[in-house]
Homo-oligomer: A and B are copies of this chain.
Amino acid sequence: MLENKDQSRTSLEELGEFGLIDHLTEHFKISQKTTVKGIGDDAAVLSFPDTHMVVTTDLLIEGVHFDLSYVPLKHLGYKAVMVNLSDVYAMNATASQITVSIAVSNRFPLEALEDLYAGIQAACINYKVDLVGGDTTSSTTGLVISVTAIGQASGDTIVGRDTAKSGDLVVVTGDIGAAYMGLQILEREKAVFKVNPNNQPDLEQYAYIVERQLKPEARKDVVNLLASLEVLPTAMIDISDGLSSEILHICKNSNVGCNLYEEKIPLDPQVISTCEEFGLDSTTIALSGGEDYELLFTIAQTDYPKIKANPNFTIVGHITDQGEGAHLITRANTKIPLVARGWNALNSD
């Protein structure tokens, strides 16, 4: 699909490297007061008076993090930004700028990169962040996308992973496991397509989980909501690798243990029904499936009244002393040690 067989498409050689950056970024507008100078110099210039800055970066590799046979480039651009903004929000900070570098082989026509940047731009507009820098270069094989996100927060509201306390409640936003099951649907359809290219998949009954995989939304709203509820989490992390792996990061960095309750884990009905269809255990998927980009945080018990009625939040357990370890309490009331398995690990099981 992406091979440049269509002669009406524009090859990257025609444009050259400098022309390419200019072309791809010409419609990006600067919206943040903190952006003094954006794209077009050796470096961007930002000004953050009297605040703390947060910086995070991620590298996405074709064939490892995405498969262009079923991921539209516009969605990929959007998601590449989300992955990084999610890390900023997980610090309880506001995202304000991003840089994007890409490496592409000549098999991509200009129009493909325009699609990618249309997705990046949609993310910038929806989340009010400025694209302030980047780099385009050639690749010998696949597409590589590197995004760095910059955000800000006052020093006393930044929330790390290392400050959860025994007795704190463990809270998850939204629902989890959906992005992983969406990936299973897309992988299955790819396999079907290989056998019969004329087959038109009907993905309607999987719409939610496929969208969670292809077009995740970082939880900027949660940072704002927590502020308006006057809740400062004691620790926070985003769920990129599965609930189990993330809570273990908090436990390790905070020197605490935890008990999570299987019956409390928030699952969308589509996740449950699709797990049944695939013969998978939905709890396992929620614990070890990744890419949901929900937030996982801990709060002091005194904050419980502020969040208990809120449909965005589910209390899934509590923090314990480190000596008690990290466990899942099953519906059958058995206690199972939590194990860190990234979602990639699931594929080889």
The chain A residues found within 8 Å of chain B, CB to CB, are: 17-18, 36-37, 40-59, 61-65, 86-88, 90-91, 93, 97, 99, 101-103, 132-135, 137-142, 144, 146, 148-151, 155, 158, 160-162, 236-238, 253, 340, 342
Contacts and interface: CB of A to CB of B under 8 A. Distances in A.
A29 B105 CA distance: 37
B90 A43 contact: yes
Given A137-B59, A144-B144, A103 B49 contact: no
B138 A61 contact: yes
A103 B47 contact: no
A253 B59 CA distance: 31
Contacts of A140: 61-64, 141-142
A59 B141 contact: no
Work out how many copies of this chain go into the complex. Answer: 2
Contacts of A43: 54-56, 87-88, 90-91, 93, 149, 151
Nearest to A17: B342
13 contacts: A17-B342, A42-B56, A42-B86, A43-B88, A45-B52, A46-B52, A47-B52, A48-B48, A49-B50, A55-B150, A57-B135, A58-B101, A65-B137
Contacts of A142: 140-141
Contacts of A155: 36, 47
A101 B137 contact: no
A255 to B, nearest CB: 13
Contacts of A51: 47
Nearest to A148: B148
Contacts of A133: 55-57
